[in-house]
A and B are shown apart, each in its own frame.
Chain A
Amino acid sequence: MSILDSKIPEGPIDQKWTNHKNQMKLVAPNNRPKIDVIVVGTGLAGASAAASLGEMGYNVKSFCFQDSPRRAHSIAAQGGINAAKNYQNDGDSTYRLFYDTIKGGDYRSRESNVYRLAEVSANIIDQCVAQGVPFAREYGGLLDNRSFGGVQVRRTFYAAGQTGQQLLLGAYSALSRQIGLGRVKMYNRHEMMDIVKVDGNARGIIARNLVSGKLERHSAHAVVIASGGYGNVYFLSTNAMGSNVSAAWKIHKKGALFANPCYVQIHPTCIPVHGTNQSKLTLMSESLRNSGRIWVPKKKEDADAIRNGKLKPTQIAEEDRDYYLERRYPAFGHLVPRDVASRAAKERCDAGFGIEANDTNEGVYLDFASEIKSKGKQVAYAQGDHNPNEETTIRLGKKWVEEKYGNLFQMYQQITAENPYETPMKIYPAVHYTMGGVWVDYNLQSTIPGCFVAGEANFSDHGANRLGASALMQGLADGYFVLPYTIANYLSNEIRTGEISTDSKEFENAEMDVAESISSLMHVKGNRSVDHFHKRLGLIMWNKVGMSRSEAGLKSAIAEIKGLRDEFYNDVFIPGESNEMNAELEKALRVADLLELGQLMAVDALNRNESCGGHFREEYQDDEGETLRDDKKFKYVSAWEYKDREATNSALHKEDLKYEAIKIAERNYK
């Protein structure tokens, strides 16, 4: 029944990519300028792909909805990027990075893709340094590393708490060079509205100029979608306000299967929710778990007193604090993977130990006091003061912390008006990343020939849970080191095609359909703003398709979303016109897609009768609240085929996951 061919190359795991590269077909340099490639999105995956394809000599058209490609949301990634360099001499290797990623993903990712990711990871660091990315260095002038969740080595490269910014600006500089040379044509403030297929192949897109509102037709021999993840289906998330699923969803509606939509990463360390007018949640980097210790009070009455403002966290004695991650997971402690840390926080708060005075009492402490003391002592010692007094220790310790995490501490203080050097940070899990996405084969091609999907928008590398500092790695791996090869293989059959006309029936119809959907939304002229619907969708998703899911909750979510969607199409109000800059219209078009996706996420979660990674079904847990995976029944990728707006009608295709290089095991961080 399956229409899925993952096209995994033959051979031993460490030879697959090399052999495949040797066998793939090429396009000669003189033929490349005759071939057009469209890249949608300018984050790490999109910008690196567009730059690399431009360098190779293809005609590239690059699209972003922001006012500049430099603003794509990869820019906000904080902590770092993994690479199996083993610079720290702690036993790292390609195999170990591969193993950690598979295990971190709870044995739900495709082995061959993950191995390739680990294999090219070292090249990424070399490439970025050559571009002038200013990574953090040690005094000897060599690159520094730190540790992230779910691993026992230091393989994470970083630039303070803004690694994503530095990597994206690196990719943006490479892209800018190609734009300056005329190899890439850049379309800022343009949003992809639909993909255009001719004879079943991807042949272009319909884009909307967000300044003039005009619809434009753009043709190409291949289309790359690198439009990021769909975390904004929850309304409140760490995603940027403009992050959306629309490009990915449009190709899904035109035949690309959508895989594992229920795999969502809830990040454990975000600033807790404060009020109803809040528009987004802010992440505090996972790197902080290198230095901070997470705790809640051991006694409920202490938690009550803190929430009522009668006690301060610094007044709780050491023996009255529950460092629950150290207690439950001594081997990994605070550096357990994100899904594990998030669930543990939820468990404590649900049990009544939450410390934040918001509607739900949801918050735990991330405390830097021990680290400030211990680092202060170390620094004093290194400076020759072998017996520092308390004051010196604290002063030097704070300085050390500031150097490592200064911008994060500053950001925290801006948002909460509390000083994290003096009092512990308050944190709680929030939606951060989506592991699910468009199904792609080993070549990153979707089930639409000629339509490739890269970065967070595809599903392939992180299984049911992504490890920290692996998103940047995957985005750049896809864009710099995978797509340039696999797209060439596809394009080798296109050298005789010639320019593709945008006057064809297919382009005309696609443009007409887009115009119609815009016009019908404009004409609803109801009474509620787009945000009104988006917030309600977000609440349904967070409460029923969030950190923990149950059969009853999912069934009710499916029905509620359907009802909300009907209401949206009858009662949404979009002010202004469609032929001008209109932020409300942009939002409405995105929310319309989220209202379909949200339902599919619930359908997928309902189908998956097991708990794995970020997908936690209350029915499937052990006595200690750990996930119970069911490898006999669910060791597969769920790839959904679109039928109509009602996700319950979507057809399920299964890609069985085979593990040859790794022994599948229980995931244990104790």
Chain B
Amino acid sequence: MASKFINVTLKVWRQKNADSKGNIETYQLSKVSTDSSFLEMLDQLNEQLINEKQAPVAFDHDCREGICGSCSLYIDGRAHGPQTQTTTCQLHMRSFNDGDTIYIEPWRSKAFPIIKDLVVDRSAFDRVQQSGGFVSVNTSGNTMDANAIPIPKTDADNAFNAATCIGCGACVASCKNSSAMLFVGAKVSQYALLPQGKVEANKRVQNMVRQMDEEGFGNCTNTGACEVECPKGISLENIARMNREFLKSNLTSEK
């Protein structure tokens, strides 16, 4: 790894808490290794701020290997920054040039209110999941053998691809309508594709769509920005499948 060092100017959204007004602050940061991840660059900024006895920038992060979905950030106008299929924690400073000015903002969506600086409240996603994102099976040592129902490999693979969603919210942040259809579509699809999920399919899609609307997410107008910005490459097909499931449930539901 041939590392080199660059200097950058950072324009960062600062907001003390949910009730206060925020603004963009400018910081100079020098000697950033191009091998550093974007979050390690922010660590370096925070170390500098702490040494100057200033308040460090708050941002969500945890696993730093692209899977927990904690990290977010709108970087130069794009969710998770300039690279496709990359979370912010996996974005590296070699994607930037010496002398660059980088804008860093939180997710912007009514359903994701700001808590502090770059930290937003994504619990709306949890509530959508709680409304139906599960198979109603209790813990038991006596469910049927795991191989009792063969599942075609393509169905299993498609269910898995939908299930790789990390719940980061980039789809919502990228959508001009703040729609959560990609997130909800992925969850609905995972279960709709598997025999275990089919039993409750009608109820699930109705409940999850209702909760999604109640949380204040917008509607889908098929711009496809969500798919482009999704760090896990979740496909728009999942939205189409959710729409089919929704329509089907309207037509076939007993209620």
Chain A residues close to B by CB (< 8 Å): 48, 51-52, 55, 66-71, 73, 75-76, 85, 87, 120, 123, 125-132, 134-143, 159-160, 162, 164-166, 169, 172-174, 176-177, 179-180, 186, 188, 211, 238, 240-242, 274-275, 277-280, 282-283, 357, 410-411, 414-418, 480-481, 484, 529, 531, 573, 575-576, 580-581, 583-584
Contact = CB atoms under 8 A, between A and B. Distances in A.
Contacts of A123: 141, 143
B19 to A, nearest CB: 12
Interface stretch (B6-14, B189-197, B213-221, B245-253): B189-197
A417 B3 CA distance: 11
B36 A71 contact: no
A643 B156 CA distance: 53
Nearest to B54: A575
Given A275-B36, A581-B119, A583-B58, A177 B63 contact: no
B90 interface: yes
Contact of A275 (B33, B157, B194): B33
B115 interface: yes
Given A55-B138, A140-B150, A165-B164, A132 B40 contact: no
A531 B130 contact: no
A416 B147 CA distance: 39
A417 B1 contact: yes
B129 A241 contact: no
Given A67-B123, A71-B62, A75-B67, 6 more contacts: A131-B196, A137-B151, A179-B130, A242-B62, A279-B43, A575-B53
Nearest to B48: A529
B146 A85 contact: yes
B45 to A, nearest CB: 11
Contacts of B98: none
A422 to B, nearest CB: 15
Nearest to B163: A134
A357 B35 CA distance: 13
Interface in B106-143: 115-116, 119, 121-123, 125-126, 129-141, 143
B159 interface: yes
B92 A417 contact: yes
A343 B50 CA distance: 39
Contacts of B35: 274-275
B133 A240 contact: no
B137 A131 contact: yes
Contacts of B130: 176-177, 179-180
B40 A277 contact: yes
B62 A68 contact: no
Given A176-B134, A581-B115, A66 B62 contact: yes
A70 B167 contact: yes
A87 B115 contact: no
B197 A132 contact: yes
5 contacts: A52-B139, A67-B123, A139-B153, A188-B126, A415-B92
B149 to A, nearest CB: 8
Given A55-B139, A73-B63, A172-B129, A132 B146 contact: no
A275 B164 contact: no
Interface string B42-56: 011001011101111
Nearest to B160: A134
A122 B156 CA distance: 20
B30 interface: no
B67 A130 contact: no
